[in-house]
Chains A and B, each alone.
Chain A
Amino acid sequence: MPRPISRRDFLSRAVVAASVLATPRVRWRTVPARAPLRIAVIPSARTPDRALGIQLGVDEARHAATLFGGGVDVTVAAPNESLERAAPRLLAARPAVVLGGDTRAECDHLAELAQAHASLYFNVGCDDDGLRGAQCRRAAFHVCPSAAMLRQAVSETRAGGATAEAWDPALVKFGADTLNERFQKQFHRPMGAPSWCGWVAIKIAWEASLRARAVDGPSIGAFLETSSAQFDGHKGRALSFRLWDHQLRQPVYVTQARAAGAEPIEVPSSRAEEDARTSLDRLGTARAASICVWKT
């Protein structure tokens, strides 16, 4: 029996198909069939731009699937469906990864449910330090920077009115400009931090599945805990998850309110004597300071 797909998923596929059909003389290569990576998404009413980043990530993962085989099946909660109702329904199908949640309670609930269903929870909506600390769960991988990382970045730059974000639409280096342009071209708006988090979460899920040669949550989770699990988020440094709290190592960008148009300041800065992990571990909770003990 064919699997039902959501309206959003159907529309997404239709858009991709239409764009392909509308492009003359473009030839796709056929590759052997492989089981698709299944991802469940509970969209955020509070941060709708996150869904756009997820959409771009899914589109690009499907493009990559034409190269390497497999695919990405995305199941999306209905717009009027509460997280409490949608989460158990979506997780009953045991997707490899689930995304959603805006509050600490929601994110913790999703992480707990994902763990119980042998799925992974990719946190793209909660910067709460407790989820990386006392409430940490092994099935949870925190894609966006923690509140501690953002606070520290602002304090290090010591500028009045400064804010720190995971991404900035003014970034240029290491392909940031092409990512910003791809997003702008598709959605007619700049790519902000929520969109980047959604995009990179899907990219990490897809690439981890591809490199681990697995489409189930536990295998992908085990791969993410290896030293070879590194990802390019167009930030110029290899991104990886900290073993002690599953926070994604990454630089963040500080902008000053009074310096409109100025290039954002990257924190932490690179030091010649440090490798990328050591350098990025200067931001946020260090291993020695972590109080995370995986909750079961």
Chain B
Amino acid sequence: MRHIAWLAAFAAMAAPAPAHPQVHAPHAPTLWISNEAGHSVTVVDAASNRVLATIPLGARARGIHASPDGRRVYVALSNDAGQRDPAKEQIVAVDVATRHVVAHYRVGSDPEQFAVSPDGRTLYVANEDGGTATMLDVATGKRLGALVVGIEPEGVTFSPDGRWVYVTSETSNSLSVIDAVRHKVVSNILVDLRPRAAAFTPDGRRIFVTAEVGGSLSAIDAATRDVLATIPIENNEGKPVGVVVSPDGRRVYVAAGKGNALHVFDARTYRSIATIPVGQRPWGVAISADGRFVYTADGLSNTVSVVSTSNNRVVQRIPTGNKPWGIAIVP
């Protein structure tokens, strides 16, 4: 079976992406992968794992999320390291049907990660070099304001009910809690070294936060905002980045960059379930709506690894652009 999967992967690699984006209305879910060094987005048919298109965006593409209605994909663009061109710093909206950029949003300096509110109306954007989170009205493109969070903010995530926004900040080792109704920071939680990403359980009761230099995963109680547990990844040497929780809330999947692996934990006991070798330097991670597949963006392999959650094995590797960073799934 695995052999067949590999053949399919090579077949997918051999199939060239269209030279230019074309109007296309996919029926199956699609994966949208941001390519940091490729300055592009790779679009993949999630049913066949075949590359459908590569959309050039002209700047360093990192944070990527779909709108709740699946009609748009937002991508955070910024400068390559050492460059400073404010014109490149923006979030763009790509129309899923036409694969054309249909909107540009100015969201402050150096946008990297962001989150879309569950109602699709608001973006919260981490401004890495500004120490702020910028709020943006999607309909008008108007900036609603900026909130001071920690130093070098990175990961942004909404609670499932849309009430809270959590922002990790790498230098200050902090997790800022924003009341999305009152647009106000209401708490800051000290976590392990260099927190990168955060993910809620589907019931909104707990948040999992990765700490890249701490080499750990912290579980936080959303009501008390206490750190419930700090779980070592590869004896604190794992360099975890991306994290997702399964739709049934039973599993936590962590992409551990240095370990070239996807770690699976029991979301309730925090026990390690499996360590799955994937491509090199997996950073971003996403899970299908039915929970059957987890996808890792393997930054140095230029692939996305497709992991079956039924047997915790890689079933396919999909070629991407240069340095895949994040993954969004359009249902």
Contacts and interface: CB of A to CB of B under 8 A. Distances in A.
Interface of A: 23, 25-29, 31, 60, 63-64, 66-68, 172, 174-175, 177-179, 181-182, 185, 203, 207, 210-211, 230-232, 234, 236-238, 270, 275-276
B269 interface: no
Contacts of A25: 143, 145-146
Contacts of A237: 213
Interface string B302-331: 000000000000000000000000000000
Contacts of B288: none
Contacts of B84: 181
A68 B175 CA distance: 11
Given A230-B193, A230-B214, A236-B213, A177 B81 contact: yes
Contact of B176 (A67, A181, A236): A67
Interface in B139-157: 143, 145-152
Interface stretch (B9-17, B66-74, B125-133, B243-251): B125-133
A238 B237 CA distance: 9
A174 B213 contact: yes
Given A67-B176, A67-B188, A177-B81, A232 B171 contact: yes
Given A26-B132, A210-B190, A172 B148 contact: no
A83 to B, nearest CB: 31
Given A68-B174, A174-B194, A175-B171, 11 more contacts: A25-B143, A26-B132, A27-B148, A64-B151, A66-B148, A174-B212, A175-B170, A179-B171, A230-B193, A232-B194, A232-B213
Interface in B234-248: 235-237, 239
A238 B171 contact: no
A67 B184 contact: no
Interface of B is mostly: loop
A67 B195 CA distance: 15
Contacts of A68: 174, 188, 190
Nearest to B144: A25
7 contacts: A27-B145, A63-B150, A64-B150, A181-B84, A207-B173, A232-B170, A237-B213
B186 interface: yes
B152 to A, nearest CB: 6
B237 to A, nearest CB: 6
A282 to B, nearest CB: 15
A104 B128 CA distance: 39
Contacts of B184: 27, 29
Contact of B152 (A172, A178, A270): A178
Contacts of A64: 150-151, 172, 174
A50 to B, nearest CB: 20
B284 interface: no
A29 B190 contact: no
A185 B146 contact: no
Nearest to B81: A177
